[in-house]
Amino acid sequence: MPSIELITPERMYERSMQRRRFIFFTALALIVILIGFKTVYSRGKDNAIAGLPVPVQGEASGGTSMKIGKYDVTLDYIASYDINALVISTHNYSGSGLDSRLVPRDIALAWGKVAEYNTRIDFNWSQSGRFCRFELHGDDYRNACQYCPNYECEASNNHLIACDSSIRSKIKKIRRGDHVRIKGYLVNLRAVTSDGKTYYWNSSTSRSDTGNGACELIYVTSIDWK
């Protein structure tokens, strides 16, 4: 004689709750996985590339202008610039200020021995306040001195100004660990409002300077991934 299960309203409710809990926790697990994947993707990963050359800087003249909010912005080309480098860090900036609207993303780049030894030496790269910083401790400091004696001159923090919407989209896609080639111009910026407020932002033209004013302000005309 086959067994017969009596399905009471309470039993039906319990099964319904079990199904709901299963669906809820399955969906929650998928959300956690997707968030983790997005976080890893957005941060990128450490990488090392040998043989990357020193950025090429040449003569340039002219400039361009644009309107950003209440500012009339003028960019003077002070040098042509071609950098083939490893992305060691990225940082996004948000806000209503001119700097955030014009340069919402900074990209830190390395070449030479720093790019080659980037995974063997922990430089502890970080970015904030429009600066890129590194910290070397113990064996990492000793190895940097031995294998990357010019480590302070083989990395730069770059403020990228997009020439158009296509370049702006590419800048957003750059990730730590990427090998990119960026072309454009080092620029000096002057922005003026109708009530006479003036804002200046100048680029470095040296790869050996450090500290305030050492970052490159680049008007980007081309980005390629290698």
Q: What is the pLDDT of residues 72-98, one digit of tens each?
A: 999 999 999 999 999 999 999 998 899
Query: Which pLDDT does position 42 carry in this prediction?
Result: 53
Q: What is the pLDDT of residues 100-151, one digit of tens each?
A: 999 999 999 999 999 999 999 999 999 999 999 999 999 999 999 999 999 9
DSSP state for residue 72 in the 8-state scheme = E
Q: Which of 79, 87, 90 is nearest to 52 (CA)?
A: 87
Q: What is the pLDDT of residues 39-63, one digit of tens each?
A: 444 568 999 999 999 999 999 999 9
Q: Which residue is listed with tokens 């090392």?
A: 48
Label the pairing between strands 56-58 and 71-92: antiparallel
Three-class SS state of 96: coil
CA gap 173, 218 in Å, rounded: 17
Q: Which residue is listed with tokens 């997009």?
A: 162
Three-class SS state of 13: helix
How many CB atoms lie under 10 A from the CB of residue 118? 21
